A and B are shown apart, each in its own frame.
Chain A
Amino acid sequence: MSDPAILFQYDLYPERVVRMGKVTKVETDRGMFALKETKLSKEQMDRILSIEDRLKQLHFESFVPLIRTKYGDSFVFTGTGVAYLTPWLGGGEEQFAQKEENLIISLAELHGYTARDQAFSEEVIKQSYQKMILMRESRQFEMEKYVNSIEKRIYLSPFELTFVTHFHQLMKYCDLAKTRLDNWYEQVVEAKRYRSVFCHGKCSPSHYVMNGGKGYFINFERSVVDTPVRDLAYFIRSSVHPFQFNPATITAHITRYETQFSLFEEEKELLASYLYFPESVFNSVNRFNENRQHWPHIKHVRLFTKKIEVMNGIHNVLQSF
């Protein structure tokens, strides 16, 4: 279904339409709107709607509500997926630092509003623990295979040489991630408690918009009920800019988060485990090998080196955590 046919269902006749990534900004005489077309199924959209209802019931206001069509639908089938409309809320880049501060507070509020103690089951915890171990081991194994394959060569490229040089250090971070995960497991089993919250699922500054000094979450497409650490770790990773990294920001984010929603000791161990695991560095290897962006070789090397520096900075933060 074309954009005009979708907008017809909202009685919107655009004066100007601007594509901005996955979202279309629609300017009309009735205001500005964001139209998002997704591949989500009806069931997934229904889940998002029930979450929206729940957030409304809880009087949590830091999210952008979906606008209904004139026929009362919250989303429109497009043939290949669904489209939905929200009011357009936009903030300038100059508010970036403020945005991150607001975001972490809103995230803590969201988690606080929706926190629920789960019935403790050692079996469930054990399964989660083992699943995570397995996933990480398989990722490590991929990297080991990669390092073995390049070490056989006589001449290594600058990227490969940098990777081999830092490989031992990366494995050390993997071990630390495992140790902190073990700590989490032991402490949860000992405390016999486990809580879940409503997680945004893709909690990054690009999914949070500022308007009139207030911040709002957008895009709940990947939302899930899980440990608060899932969102927090995702946010911390996504807010790290390798070329402007300041370890103090991580400490500030965690402190600000905890003013609204305190983490349990075992949750702190889990957060440390997430942050220690060098997933982002491993992703750089995949990015180098695939090179979809057609970057020059040196750019991959620089990014990789910066990410190692970030990992070292995170390590310093986590030592006292």
Chain B
Amino acid sequence: MDVLVIIAEKYGFKEVSWVRKPEVIMTHLGKRKLSYWRERDLLEYHLNFRDRLFSKYGILCNRMIRTIDHEAFIPIHQGYVSVHDSVEEEFAFEHFPEMEGYLLSSLIDVSVDVNNYDGLATFPYRETLEALRPIKTLYPQPYLLLVRLIPEVKKRLSYNKSISHLSIPISNHSIKEVMGQFYFEISDEEPVPVYEVLPKAMYVWYEKKGQEEFKQCFNALFKEIDSETSHVLIQTIIAPWDWWSCIQSLQYKGVNVNQVMEEFVEKWETMRKITCTVQLSISEGRVSVSE
């Protein structure tokens, strides 16, 4: 049976037609987006996560619209299809730069609930040192630099014992606006580890937003969370992921060393500046950026 016919019947939509096959349809209630899922586990993760994000923080997002029988998705061919709002208006970030910080902290908190797991882990320091050894013979110059940075690496690991190993669904997302309200459009992809998301977000905020907006985002990130979690997140941010990632990239022969090292140095320097900016909060154990 045709997807449109099934959707019209299950959701009670009238006048259903394709706007952009196979993703967007038009119904008597307006445009709707379709998501196709192969893995039921991933579908259920997203269903749960999006519902909780709204019920706990009131953040509008592309939740699953229910069928007439209150089902969140319907089986179709070898997988499932879910129906969502189609929102087009972009969110005016310039008015609310702190929104990204608030969003990240909400996602992390919801992730704890959804996984029923606090996600604490330690930075793989010893494993990274092991991985450093083969670089000595492969790339001697970069090796020397990476070794010289070890004291600073240790310093960057001394703030808190644990880092966050949670994952949040924030890859390829977009942030929109509906009825004057912030609307978070989550992609249907696998969730991404917080230890990847947070340092990356810090780089982007620092490089693109400028000092003032960076501070607003940073403050918003820590505003609603307890001090224990904030310590974990700060450690996750300042942990030497740049150093770790550089070592991972230099494991094999034939790597474009110059490019890898250039990227590494750039990231390392930016992180140094970020750490300086948030130094006061780190040294005093309070969470707000130095003014």
A-side residues, CB < 8 A to B, are: 1-2, 4-5, 7-8, 11, 42, 68, 70-73, 77-79
Contacts and interface: CB of A to CB of B under 8 A. Distances in A.
Contact of B58 (A7, A8, A11, A77): A77
B20 interface: no
Contact of A72 (B30, B66, B178, B181): B66
Contact of B180 (A5, A68, A70, A77): A5
A71 B63 contact: yes
Given A71-B65, A79-B58, 15 more contacts: A1-B58, A1-B181, A2-B179, A2-B181, A4-B179, A5-B181, A7-B179, A8-B181, A11-B30, A42-B55, A68-B70, A71-B64, A73-B55, A77-B54, A78-B58
Interface residues of B, number: 17
**Secondary structure call for the B interface:** loop
B65 A2 contact: no
Contacts of B188: none
A5 B66 contact: no
B66 A68 contact: yes
B29 A4 contact: no
28 contacts: A1-B58, A1-B181, A2-B179, A2-B180, A2-B181, A4-B180, A5-B60, A5-B178, A5-B180, A5-B181, A7-B179, A8-B178, A8-B179, A8-B181, A11-B29, A11-B30, A68-B70, A71-B51, A71-B64, A71-B65, A71-B66, A72-B72, A73-B55, A77-B54, A77-B55, A77-B58, A78-B58, A79-B58
Contact of A5 (B29, B70, B179): B179
Contacts of A68: 66, 70
B5 to A, nearest CB: 20
Query: What 10 A-B pairs are tightest by C-beta distance, nearest first?
Result: A72-B66, A4-B179, A5-B181, A5-B179, A71-B63, A11-B29, A70-B65, A77-B58, A8-B179, A72-B70
Contacts of A77: 54-55, 58
B261 to A, nearest CB: 49
Nearest to A71: B63
Contacts of B51: 71
A141 to B, nearest CB: 45
B68 to A, nearest CB: 11
A100 to B, nearest CB: 37
A102 B123 CA distance: 70
Contacts of A11: 29-30
A12 to B, nearest CB: 10
A5 B70 CA distance: 21
